[in-house]
């Protein structure tokens, strides 16, 4: 992984920059001691580490704005960070940049039950939003598995998903308003408690922009009423083909479950061994199908899905009879990553999305690649929306294994793209998939994305080294290459 | 002034590249059913993409369909209905609002304007259902963004930027949108006699239930008299509407619960349940803003000004009341009050101080920061002189301009459609 060469001139000014930042924010909000900065050197993609130049922890929008303005004027790069749970290296620091930690902006500013919205600061955790409103029967729908730790600001940056996206959407579908600090220190407000923002859909592009466009300082999210009932079905199949058929049958039957998760044999056994969720161990594929809504509807849908599952060859069919049992069904799935961690010293989580119908084919190819690369793999899968999480098991202490795991991972992602899918469904590009972007996009496609970047951050100070394999200079991108002024197409129909 | 009518992607690319090279501004259109939406474009030529009207790859089992921008919504929806699916964002057909014939709306048009119908409260907006695009930027570069899967965070979501950009950044050559199951059954629960504020409070209460409300509208008396069936409310009474959709037993159960909930609220009149057929007709009228439609070929081409308010639902009724103090208005509240269609005037001349700017200062002033207002119908002269879209504060306006310049450097795609200088 090659990061842009650090700007030595900036690093040479470090003391001066620290002093300047201490004039903007409280002295203890600027961290420059190496031991204290150590905790910021990596995010959830722990294979990559870099000590930042300085860490700054502002407490207000005004402080964020002043820090950004200073960095803009002083040509200092900025890496924004929430809880640091990114699995793609989105918050990996830079040797010549500050880490702008937003953990101290952690207040829930307001909740409006009339408009069913909550306005929160970016450092509030995902789960805290739901906890603040559940006594009134509401919740915040996107539920990434890191929801206990990950922040709303980070969720915006990564457009985080979760197991309930199929029915309730990703972060982007649940955000109504943003306050954003631009690299110039200017503050813009987009949308709010209304359903439609005005002008270009900048909320739409900021969500998932991985800290390359601006720093979010306030977020208004949509709250949903909790469904009357939620029940889950645990369905075991002798093969992933049959489980795949069942997924297709459910969707084809006009049913959109709240969640539809799949695990393969190795993942099932690892999870069961770890949390004793009661999973059958004699099946090669397990589906968890959650149905929510009014009681009568859920009972009806449970019966419909059961019938589809049996028709597709399910050998193990269980419906949850209580919330405790439903939680138990989920416990294994939610612990799948740490469970895989017990199988192997290290594991590498992949995150491609594929069309649902390609599931069996892709799993077969992954199994073949597992043989070729000599590394084991366990698969968990948001089957409802085609988002695949193969966990590649490796041992970083064995020379070359990390590199082999990365090569294996890259091949899986290329496979996802080749069957009509994409490189990343919810974890983001970051540094991890940066160099694979050309697999999915042409150079012209990537140029358009960088044009958006140029509109927000013409000097490339925000999170450089992430998302784009090559960051073109904006002046170069802006040049028009014009060929003649004549209508060049005599065959173009006109009237 | 010529009209260019490309037939395929390559010809769109050639046309835009030529316009960029020769700095000839293009007015981009597909069905041309809502040319009155936005500022008048000072176009040198017209780029008519209605010839790109093919259905692309439709995979019902993947819940996704691709089509060219010029495909008629009616055609596309027929294809989806044949597989038991629909466009869940319920795109409106606004042609009649401008005195045109119904049925002119295209997929490219509704996405370019990010138009969503009553189901927005449950299933999201047009932009939420757009998964991917192929387009030609104003710089004459053919590109794609997004894909055919819902879960995709690979790079910036340029599809969303293009949705709602009114053709000012790029010209679509293909769009990929979600196709979702059509509900098995639908019903409407209606309560009559509620004032605007009481009605929106009732709708907020209903939307806070777990009953998956798929439409929440309020029609003040004047509007209700025109489109609500007599069975719902006696003439002269407002009517408040809640739509339910889904599997039949579930709809029946939820309707029963909502009838009870609404009947128990103070101040309301009779609570009535409307069956599927009548319900569909009524929500179609709300979706298309039919009460404010102009008769085709009428002698007042623009008709009375119509505004669209996007506003915090709990402050909508008060804002409309403030506007009504200055000028007689008719309102249609949708999305639980978060969307308000407002027609100014009672057919006669507008009062002084309002007539010159179609009420822009007065309407925007009345919102008091609770939302924003778009002038969706006025004469071309007024739309050229008055900001049609909300006026943006300096830094946001500058950012908007930089986005425009980066995608349409020579300002040849619908210049001025959204903002005079963009």
Residue with tokens 């006594």: A135
Summarised one tens digit per residue, pLDDT across range B105-121 is 999 999 999 999 999 99
Q: What is the 3-class SS of A342-380, one letter each residue?
A: HHCCEEEECCEECCHHHHHHHHHHHHHHHHHHCCCEEEE
Q: What is the pLDDT of residue A479?
A: 87
Cα–Cα dist A155/A123, whole Å: 10
Out of B143, B201, B209, name the one closest to residue A445 (CB).
B143
Kindly determine whether residue A173 and residue B339, on different chains, have CB atoms separated by under 8 Å.
no
Q: The dihedral of CA A231, A237, A242, A244: what is its sign? A: positive
Q: What is the pLDDT of residue B170?
A: 98
Nearest to B284 by CA among B105, B108, B130, B416: B105
Strand partners, A300: none
pLDDT surpasses 90 at B320? yes
In contact, B165 and A434? CB cutoff 8 Å? no
Q: How far is CA A139 from the centre of its chain?
A: 20
Out of B5, B204, B371, name the one closest to residue A194 (CB).
B371
Cα–Cα dist A465/A475, whole Å: 19
Cα–Cα dist A76/A96, whole Å: 7
Q: Same structural domain for residues B15 and B70?
A: yes
Nearest to B338 by CA among B35, B75, B122: B122
In contact, B44 and B1? CB cutoff 8 Å? yes
| Dihedrals phi, psi of B189, to nearest 5 degrees | -105, 130
Burial of B129 (0-12, 13-18, 19+ CB in 10 A): buried
Cα–Cα dist A209/A126, whole Å: 18
| Dihedrals phi, psi of B307, to nearest 5 degrees | -115, 150
Q: And the tokens for A179?
A: 């306050």
Q: What is the pLDDT of residue A489?
A: 52
Residue B93 lies in a domain: yes
Q: Same structural domain for residues B24 and B128?
A: yes
Q: And the tokens for A336?
A: 């799948």
Q: How far is CA A433 from the centre of its chain?
A: 12
Residue B262 lies in a domain: yes
CATH number of the domain where residue B380 is located: 3.30.70.240
Q: What is the pLDDT of residue B349?
A: 82
Q: What is the pLDDT of residue B270?
A: 84
Q: What is the pLDDT of residue B303?
A: 84
Q: Same structural domain for residues B97 and B138?
A: yes
Strand partners, A181: A187, A215
| Helices and strands (H and E) in chain A: how many | 18, 19
Tell me which chain B residues have a C-beta less than 8 angstroms from the C-beta of A482: 20-21
Tell me which chain B residues have a C-beta less than 8 angstroms from the C-beta of A196: 114, 125, 310, 338-339
CATH number of the domain where residue B278 is located: 3.30.70.260
In contact, B49 and B70? CB cutoff 8 Å? yes
Q: And the tokens for B399?
A: 């950012």
Residue B268 lies in a domain: yes
Chain A CA closest to residue B338: A194
Q: Same structural domain for residues B177 and B304?
A: no
Tell me which chain A residues have a C-beta less than 8 angstroms from the C-beta of B398: 186
Residue B60 lies in a domain: yes
Is residue A261 within a helix (H) or strand (E), and if so which, with residue range? strand A259-264
Kindly determine whether residue B5 and residue A493, on different chains, have CB atoms separated by under 8 Å.
yes
Q: Same structural domain for residues B19 and B158?
A: yes
Tell me which chain A residues have a C-beta less than 8 angstroms from the C-beta of B51: 493
Cα distance between the two ends of chain A:
55
Mutate to test the interface with A, among B4, B138, B155 (most CBs of A within 10 A): B155
Say if strands A387-394 and A346-349 run parallel, antiparallel, or are unpaired: antiparallel
Tell me which chain B residues have a C-beta less than 8 angstroms from the C-beta of A260: none
Strand partners, A388: A352, A381
In contact, B243 and B118? CB cutoff 8 Å? yes
Shortest Cα distance, chain A CAs vs residue B226, angstroms: 27
Residue B418 lies in a domain: no
Residue that is last in its domain, among B181, B205, B229: B181
Q: What is the mean pLDDT of residues B41-58?
A: 95
Q: Same structural domain for residues B189 and B175?
A: no
Q: Same structural domain for residues B283 and B356?
A: no
Tell me which chain A residues have a C-beta less than 8 angstroms from the C-beta of B12: none
Burial of A34 (0-12, 13-18, 19+ CB in 10 A): exposed
Q: What is the pLDDT of residue B42?
A: 83
A vs B, Cβ pairs < 8 A, gives 298
Kindly determine whether residue B161 and residue A251, on different chains, have CB atoms separated by under 8 Å.
no
Nearest to B345 by CA among B370, B389, B377: B377
Q: What is the 3-class SS of A176-191, one letter each residue?
A: EEEEEECCCCCEEEEE
Shortest Cα distance, chain B CAs vs residue A377, angstroms: 22
Q: What is the mean pLDDT of residues B40-48?
A: 92
Q: Same structural domain for residues B104 and B23?
A: yes
Mutate to test the interface with A, among B154, B158, B246, B315 (most CBs of A within 10 A): B154
DSSP for residue B413 = B
Summarised one tens digit per residue, pLDDT across range B304-319 is 999 999 999 999 999 9
Out of A254, A428, A451, name the one closest to residue B153 (CB).
A428
Q: What is the pLDDT of residue A483?
A: 58
Residue B419 lies in a domain: no
**Mean pLDDT score of chain B, rounded to an integer?**
95
Q: Same structural domain for residues B351 and B369?
A: yes
Residue B307 lies in a domain: yes
pLDDT surpasses 80 at B212? yes
- Give chain B's domain count: 3
Residue that is last in its domain, among B181, B203, B238: B181
Cα–Cα dist B53/B173, whole Å: 10
Cite the DSSP H helix spans in B238-379: 248-263, 276-287, 316-326, 360-367
Q: Same structural domain for residues B173 and B202?
A: no
Q: How far is CA A288 from the centre of its chain?
A: 21
Out of B153, B247, B389, name the one closest to residue A425 (CB).
B153
In contact, B70 and B106? CB cutoff 8 Å? yes
Kindly determine whether residue B155 and residue A437, on different chains, have CB atoms separated by under 8 Å.
yes
pLDDT surpasses 60 at B299? no
Cα–Cα dist A77/A460, whole Å: 8
Q: And the tokens for B394?
A: 């300096």
* Cα atoms found within 13 Å of the Cα of residue B155, Cβ hemisphere only: 31
* Complex-level ipTM: 0.97
Out of B143, B153, B409, name the one closest to residue A208 (CB).
B153
How many other CB atoms are found less than 10 A from the CB of residue A59? 18
Residue B397 lies in a domain: no
Q: Same structural domain for residues B78 and B189?
A: no
Residue with tokens 């041309």: B32
Cα–Cα dist A244/A262, whole Å: 9
Q: What is the pLDDT of residue A495?
A: 43
Out of A199, A387, A424, name the one closest to residue B400 (CB).
A199
In contact, B254 and B365? CB cutoff 8 Å? no
Task: Let me know how long chain A is.
Answer: 495
Least-confidence region, from A475-479, B255-259, B389-393: A475-479
Distances from the Cα of A424 to the Cα of A155, A314, A367, A409, B155, angstroms: 15, 30, 20, 12, 9
Query: Tens-digit pLDDT profile for chain A (495 aa)?
Result: 788 999 999 999 999 999 999 999 999 999 999 999 999 999 999 989 999 999 999 999 999 999 999 999 999 999 999 999 999 999 999 999 999 999 999 999 999 999 999 999 999 999 999 999 999 999 999 999 899 999 999 999 999 998 889 999 999 999 999 999 999 999 999 999 999 999 999 999 999 999 999 999 999 999 999 999 999 999 999 999 999 999 999 998 899 999 999 999 999 999 999 999 999 999 999 999 999 999 889 999 999 999 999 999 999 999 999 999 999 999 999 888 889 888 899 999 999 999 999 998 999 999 999 999 999 999 999 999 999 999 999 999 999 999 999 999 999 999 999 999 999 999 999 999 999 999 999 999 999 999 999 999 999 999 999 999 988 899 889 888 765 445 555 455 544
Residue that is last in its domain, among B288, B317, B349: B288
Distances from the Cα of A252 to the Cα of A112, A297, A356, B123, B190, angstroms: 38, 18, 12, 19, 33
Chain B CA closest to residue A444: B143
Out of A254, A452, A480, name the one closest to residue B403 (CB).
A452
Tell me which chain A residues have a C-beta less than 8 angstroms from the C-beta of B311: 194
Instruction: Say what percent of chain B tops pLDDT 90.
Output: 89
**Range of the structural domain that residue B96 is part of:** 3-181
Q: Same structural domain for residues B296 and B377?
A: yes
Out of A116, A425, A428, name the one closest to residue B208 (CB).
A116
Q: How far is CA A332 from the centre of its chain?
A: 21
Cα–Cα dist A382/A166, whole Å: 9
Tell me which chain A residues have a C-beta less than 8 angstroms from the C-beta of B114: 196, 201
Kindly determine whether residue B399 and residue A451, on different chains, have CB atoms separated by under 8 Å.
no
CATH number of the domain where residue B162 is located: 3.30.465.10
Kindly determine whether residue B144 and residue A138, on different chains, have CB atoms separated by under 8 Å.
no
Q: What is the pLDDT of residue B355?
A: 86
Mutate to test the interface with B, among A72, A114, A420 (most CBs of B within 10 A): A114
């Amino acid at each position: 992984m090659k990061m842009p060469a650090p700007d030595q001139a900036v690093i040479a000014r470090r003391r001066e920059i620290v002093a300047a930042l201490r004039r903007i924010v409280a002295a203890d909000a600027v961290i420059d001691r190496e031991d204290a900065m150590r905790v910021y050197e990596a995010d959830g993609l722990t294979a990559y580490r870099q000590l930042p130049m300085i860490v700054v922890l502002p407490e207000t929008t005004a402080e964020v704005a002043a820090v950004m303005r200073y960095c803009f004027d002083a040509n200092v790069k900025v890496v924004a960070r929430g809880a640091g749970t990114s699995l793609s290296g989105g918050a990996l620091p830079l040797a010549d940049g500050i880490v702008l930690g937003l953990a101290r902006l952690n207040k829930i500013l307001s909740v409006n039950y009339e408009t069913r919205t909550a306005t929160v600061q970016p450092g509030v955790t995902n789960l805290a939003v739901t906890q603040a409103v559940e006594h009134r029967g509401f919740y915040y729908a996107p539920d990434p598995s890191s929801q206990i730790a990950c922040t709303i600001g980070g969720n915006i940056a990564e457009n985080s998903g979760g197991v309930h996206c199929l029915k309730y959407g990703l972060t982007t579908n649940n955000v109504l308003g943003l306050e954003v600090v631009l690299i110039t220190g200017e503050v813009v407000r987009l949308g709010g408690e209304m359903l439609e923002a005005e002008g270009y859909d900048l909320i739409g592009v900021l969500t998932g922009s991985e800290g390359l466009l601006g720093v979010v300082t306030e977020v208004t999210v949509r709250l949903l009423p909790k469904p009357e009932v939620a029940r889950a079905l645990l369905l075991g199949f002798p093969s992933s083909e049959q489980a795949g058929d069942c997924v297709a049958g459910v969707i084809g039957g006009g049913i959109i479950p709240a969640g539809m998760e799949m695990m393969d044999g190795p993942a099932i056994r690892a999870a069961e061994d770890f949390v004793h969720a009661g999973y059958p161990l004699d099946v090669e594929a397990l589906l968890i199908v959650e149905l929510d809504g009014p009681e009568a509807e859920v009972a009806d849908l449970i019966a419909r899905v059961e019938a589809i599952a049996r028709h597709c060859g399910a050998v193990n069919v269980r419906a949850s009879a209580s919330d405790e049992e439903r939680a138990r069904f989920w416990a294994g799935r939610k612990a799948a990553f740490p469970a895989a961690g017990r199988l192997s010293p290290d594991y590498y989580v992949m995150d491609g999305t594929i069309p649902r119908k390609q599931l069996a084919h892709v799993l077969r190819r992954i199994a073949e690649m597992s043989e070729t690369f000599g590394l084991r793999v366990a698969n968990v899968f948001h089957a409802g929306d085609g988002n695949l999480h193969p966990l590649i098991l490796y041992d970083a202490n064995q020379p070359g294994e990390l590199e082999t795991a990365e090569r294996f991972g890259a091949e899986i992602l290329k496979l996802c793209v080749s069957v009509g899918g994409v490189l990343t469904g919810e974890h983001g590009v970051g540094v991890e998939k940066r160099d694979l972007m050309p697999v999915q996009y042409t150079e012209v496609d990537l140029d358009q994305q960088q044009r958006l970047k140029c509109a927000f951050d013409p000097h490339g100070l925000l999170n450089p080294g992430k998302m784009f394999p090559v960051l073109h200079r904006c002046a170069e991108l802006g040049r028009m290459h014009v060929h003649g002024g004549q209508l060049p197409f005599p065959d173009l129909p006109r009237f | 002034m010529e009209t260019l009518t490309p037939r395929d992607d390559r010809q769109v690319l050639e046309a835009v590249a030529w316009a960029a090279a020769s700095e000839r501004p293009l007015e981009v259109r597909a069905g041309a059913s809502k040319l009155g939406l936005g500022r008048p474009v000072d176009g040198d030529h017209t780029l008519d993409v209605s010839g790109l009207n093919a259905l692309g790859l439709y995979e019902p089992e993947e819940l996704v369909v691709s089509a060219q921008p010029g495909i008629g919504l009616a055609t596309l929806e027929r294809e989806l209905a044949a597989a038991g699916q629909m466009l869940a964002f319920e795109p409106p057909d606004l042609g009649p609002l401008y005195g045109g014939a119904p049925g002119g709306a295209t997929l490219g048009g509704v996405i370019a304007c990010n138009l969503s119908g009553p189901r927005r409260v449950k299933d999201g907006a047009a932009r939420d259902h757009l998964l991917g695009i192929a387009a030609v930027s104003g710089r004459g570069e053919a590109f794609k963004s997004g894909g055919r899967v819902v879960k995709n965070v690979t790079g910036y979501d340029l599809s969303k930027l293009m949705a709602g950009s009114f053709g000012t950044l790029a010209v679509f050559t293909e769009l990929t949108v979600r196709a979702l199951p059509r509900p098995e059954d639908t019903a409407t629960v209606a309560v009559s006699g509620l004032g605007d504020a009481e009605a929106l409070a009732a709708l907020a209460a209903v939307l806070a239930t777990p009953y998956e409300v798929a439409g929440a509208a309020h029609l003040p008396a004047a509007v209700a008299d025109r489109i609500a069936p007599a069975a719902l409310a006696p003439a002269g009474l407002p009517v408040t509407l809640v739509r339910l959709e889904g599997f039949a037993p579930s709809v029946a159960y939820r309707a029963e619960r909502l009838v009870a909930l609404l009947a128990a609220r103070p101040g309301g009149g009779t609570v009535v349940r409307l069956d599927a057929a009548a319900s569909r007709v009524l929500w179609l009228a709300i979706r298309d803003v039919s009460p404010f439609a102009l008769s085709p070929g009428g002698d007042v081409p623009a008709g009375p000004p119509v505004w669209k308010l996007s506003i915090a639902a709990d402050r909508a009724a008060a804002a409309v009341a403030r506007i009504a103090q200055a000028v007689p208005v008719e309102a249609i509240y949708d999305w639980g009050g978060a969307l308000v269609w407002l027609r100014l005037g009672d057919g006669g001349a507008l009062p002084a101080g309002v007539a010159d700017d179609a009420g822009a200062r007065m309407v925007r002033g009345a919102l008091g920061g609770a939302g924003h207002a778009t002038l969706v119908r006025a004469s071309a002269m007024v739309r050229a002189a008055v900001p049609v879209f909300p006026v943006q504060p300096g830094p946001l306006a500058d950012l908007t301009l930089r986005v425009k310049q980066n995608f349409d450097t020579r300002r040849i795609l619908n210049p001025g459609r959204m903002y005079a200088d963009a």
